[in-house]
Amino acid sequence: MRAWASLLGGLIVWAIHFFALYFAASIFLTSALTRAITAAVTLLCLAAAAWLTWRAWRRRQAHDDGFAQWSDGIAILSGGVALIAVVWQGLPALLI
Amino acid sequence: MTSETGFDPALYDRFPTRGDRPAGELEALDRIWQSPRGIARVTDVNNNYVGIWYVGAAFLFFLLAGILALAMRVQLALPMQGVLPQETYNQFFTMHGTLMMFLFAVPMVEALGVLLLPQMLSARDLPFPRLSAYAFWAYFVGGLSFFASLFAGLAPNGGWFMYPPLTGMAYSPGINADFWLLGIGFIEISAIAGAIEIIVGVLRTRAPGMTLARMPIFAWGMLVFAVMIVIAFPSVILGTLLLEMERALNWPFFDPTRGGDALLWQHLFWFFGHPEVYIIFLPASALVSMMIPALARAKLVGHDLIVLAFLATAFISFGVWSHHMFATGMPAMSVGFFSAASMAVSVPAGIQVFSWIATFSLGKPRFNTPTLFVLGGLFTFVLGGLTGVMVAMVPFNWQVHDSYFIVAHLHYVLIGGMVFPLFAVFYFWTPMTSRRALSERLGKWIFWLMFAGMHLVFMPMHVTGLMGMPRRVYTYLPGRDFEVPNMISTVGAFVMAAGVLLLLIDLVRSFRFTVDDDAGNVYGGGTLEWLPTGLYSSRSIPVVTSRYPLWDQPGLSEEVEQGRYFLPNTATGLRETLITSPLRAEPEYVQIMPGPSPWPFLSAIFTAGFFLILTVQAYAVAVTSGVLAVIAVLRWLWDTDRPVRPAQVDVGAGIMLPTYVTGPRSHGWWAMIILLIVIGMIFLMTIFSFFYLYGVQANFWRPGPSMAALVPIVGCYGLAAGLAVLGKRLLAREQSTLWSPVSAVLFGIFALTVGYAIDLAGWRTHGLHGSASGQGAVVYALLSLEGMLVAIALLMGGYLFARNARGIVSRPANNSVDLVVLFTVYTAAQGIFSTLLTRLVPGSL
């Protein structure tokens, strides 16, 4: 379970971010509150994705096992994707 | 090197073994894996046979749906044509969409999984061969009967996404809609059975050493595909269930005048429907990523990025469902979020496209038929992707909503993303299952006819759409300039059909099914499916040290064939395969596999009978068929889960592995967990429906029955879970009697039933009925789901009782007991959650 959570960490953060935004907009519609929630959730998720990426990066340096290096590599990529995707996903709150 | 299971990776160095293998091993394998002959072949469960039947059946539905498309194109060639009357046209387009999505695309991909995966992973078979056979027969018989409804004029006519209120009783009083709801609901069950098989197969039956990092891209594609089915399909299963309950029992889920909401259907449908596109596309693109290295003669560029693209698609595609609903008036901010996600999902697809282009540019491609189909597919898919980004933009989306522009877009994506790759697959892998390869010369004709035809049909549709021609109309008036593009589309359709017809001719000429004397590795693939095989797959199961074992491990084919790796013989004298760990594929145990049996076949026939006869409202016959299906399933299970002697066997080079394992390491436990996730997802979507209806129609809601009843209900459910776990614990204790462990589980199931009965009785006396309001409907939907689980738990209890009475519940642990306990605990947990939710909202919370 831990191995999968590490592999998919960034993407899980993206999913949490997206559904938080969806529920906020569904309940509070297009309002200042929704924008505030979006900003807060986006910052939190960015922090989480950055932390996951950094952790995977450090782990990857620490060991020489081929498989573990591969899985940390995927974890770094998925964290990196999450950083960009979370920002992108939050942008509509600034534009609409 | 680190280990996942305690297995010492240094043991791999013992392979390939030296010295000659004893005589008679290969003959024993041949004998044990032999297929029944004659009519008894329908009882076969081997993946080579079931896989090829499955592919054939899916292709048949492709042809049938294609014929319907041709008829529709003839009708639309000129304005005011009278070839298809309006009602028939409606049935044709509904059937075309439904067949292509549910009976061709998803089953075809699953079929290719059944056919190719065991060979690619070097497993003897998928872990649940009888489940594959069941899934195939249920789908084939159900699908054909579903199609036959066209001949009686009873085919569904509400479009492949069946929006209410059009499909509600008021506007569709006939049984046409029921055919869709019951027929498709049932075929989804078959898809889920296949998905469970594939997840466990990919994660637990890979060749030793084939870590996730070395796993072929197709296995990744199928893994992501199956996980997406597990998450997405429950939503449409629930949707069909709710709509059928609305039609049959008058429970107003989708009727806004009585506290329902028609848009709820759209949410449920598209939460499935959009991921469905990726469910179809990912495995097809994975097959492209498998073929390109062989076709371009270069290793795939960006292997890890493609894996990441699959995983990212799996996530992001669940955040795009509402882009089908931009025109329904959602909050502007929601629309913005969905628009952003819809654009983002094109990035992983782009990663794959660039990786393919890079591999082609680095290699030395030969322009043979599969290469042409791959490149043609790539070109077409990119065009469809670009119009996809266009329709992700909300203002443009409003403009082209429900017009032929969308028809053009979706066909570009699906034909470019799935159909052209599939034809490449036919050419590439036919030599693996046929004595002769397909003809290269004909293949090039087929490609150019299909490629030109495809663009002739669908390119003009962009224009017809922008000119304002709506989708799903059976005709149009003259003088609106629709004539020319429509005529071009119709001509194109026949050009494309000529290509498909040529392929049929080629198949008749060249395809000769075989398992052991196939045409071989014509295109020079580097993965394990090109090892020499029999019905048992490869003679021995190799240790994998690379992503392209056949390219990087010289002499592997000969060594595998000489039996110099794992399981070179039959260790127990039965059908068996090696179960390995999910991450690093370390050998864990030897799974004993079931052989041919008539029961999966019979249970599939009776399951199909139950659902389809229900449609024509012959309830007594339907129920009889349902009971027979249950009996057949139980009979099929009866032979399974029997520990064998010896408990430990030598799997090669003196490595000893157990032959019976229980708990989280066993493949059965994994399957049950995945099934519970499916059930959990159905429950989660029902909770979504509950809050959705409460959110939009709160004025129809009133407080539920007394809170005092919560104590006995939650108490009974808690007791049920506790007793079930106690039973499992008692099994391991030496001083327990023959009956004490199983009795504890049975009492647990009894407590479950009592808890449920109190909950149900509370609502019945409270006076809220399913037909009263949206609240009534959704509360009774939750009660019905729980009731279904309790009924299944009772059935499981009876089964366990019978097994214990015959003394075949093994000790100190037993898989049947484990699985019944898991199911009981889950049912109790769902029951507690369900009763708290329905009684506390509204009112207390």
Q: What is the DSSP letter of B319?
A: G
Residues in chain A predicted with pLDDT less than 70, given as ranges, are none
Q: Does residue B682 register a pLDDT over 60?
A: yes
Residue B1, pLDDT score: 59
Asked if A74's CB is within 8 angstroms of B307's CB, the reply is yes
Distance separating alpha carbons of residues A22 and A86, to the nearest angstrom? 13
Handedness of CA B763, B765, B769, B770 (dihedral sign): positive
How many Cα atoms within 13 Å fall on the side-chain side of residue B830? 27
B749 token code pair: 């199931």
- With CB atoms and an 8 Å threshold, state whether A96 touches B332: yes
Residues B750 and A52: their CA atoms lie apart, in Å, by 46
The answer to whether A96 contacts chain B (CB < 8 Å) is yes
Assess whether pLDDT exceeds 80 at residue B694: yes
Chain B interface residues (partner A, CB cutoff 8 A): 1-2, 211-213, 304-305, 307-308, 311-312, 314-316, 318-319, 331-337, 339-341, 344, 583-584, 695
B290 has a pLDDT exceeding 90: yes
Q: Establish whether the linkage from the previous residue to B173 is cis, with ω within 30° of 0.
A: no
What pLDDT score was predicted for residue B845? 56
pLDDT (tens digit, 9 = 90+) per residue, B105-126?
999 999 999 999 999 999 999 9
Distance CA B690, CA B335 (A): 22
Number of C-beta neighbours around residue B526 at 10 A: 20
Inspect the interface and report whether the beta carbons of B312 and A81 lie closer than 8 Å.
Answer: yes
For A39, list phi and psi in degrees, rounded to 5: -65, -45
Residue B593 to residue B125: CA distance in whole angstroms: 8
> Tell me, what's the pLDDT at A65?
87
Interface test mutation site (partner A, options B328, B337, B339, B346, max chain A beta carbons within 10 A): B337
Average confidence (pLDDT) over B44-52:
96
SS (H, E, C) B54-66: HHHHHHHHHHHHH
Strand runs labelled E in B623-750? 648-650, 656-658
Name residue, tokens 């292997």: B303
Candidates A2, A6, A26, partner chain B, best to mutate (most B CBs within 10 A): A26
Bridge partner residues of B534 (DSSP): B537
Interchain pair B2, A67: CB under 8 A: yes
Strands (E), B486-583: 533-534, 537-538, 576-580
Confidence of residue B75 (pLDDT cuts 50, 70, 90): very high
Contact of B591 with B127, CB cutoff 8 Å = yes
Q: Output the pLDDT for position B192.
A: 95
pLDDT in tens, B127-177: 999 999 999 999 999 999 999 999 999 999 999 999 999 999 999 999 999
By Cβ distance, the residue of B211, B212, B334 closest to A22 is B334
pLDDT at residue B736, as a whole number: 85
Whether A49 and chain B come into contact, CB under 8 Å, resolves to no
Max intra-chain CA distance, chain A: 51
- Least Cα distance to B780 among B266, B254, B253 occurs for B253
Selected residues 16-45 of chain A with any CB under 8 Å from a CB in chain B: 18-19, 21-22, 25-27, 29-30, 34
* pLDDT tens digits, B564-601: 999 999 999 999 999 999 999 999 999 999 999 999 99
CA–CA distance from B428 to each of B368, B374, B519, B556, B586 (Å)? 10, 11, 11, 21, 31
Secondary structure of B154-207 as H, E, C letters: CCCCCCCCCCCCCCCCCCCCCCHHHHHHHHHHHHHHHHHHHHHHHHHHHHHCCC
Chain-centroid distance, C-alpha A89: 11
Nearest Cα to B278, choosing from B94, B97, B106?
Answer: B106
pTM of the model: 0.97
CA–CA separation, B562 vs B574, rounded Å? Answer: 20
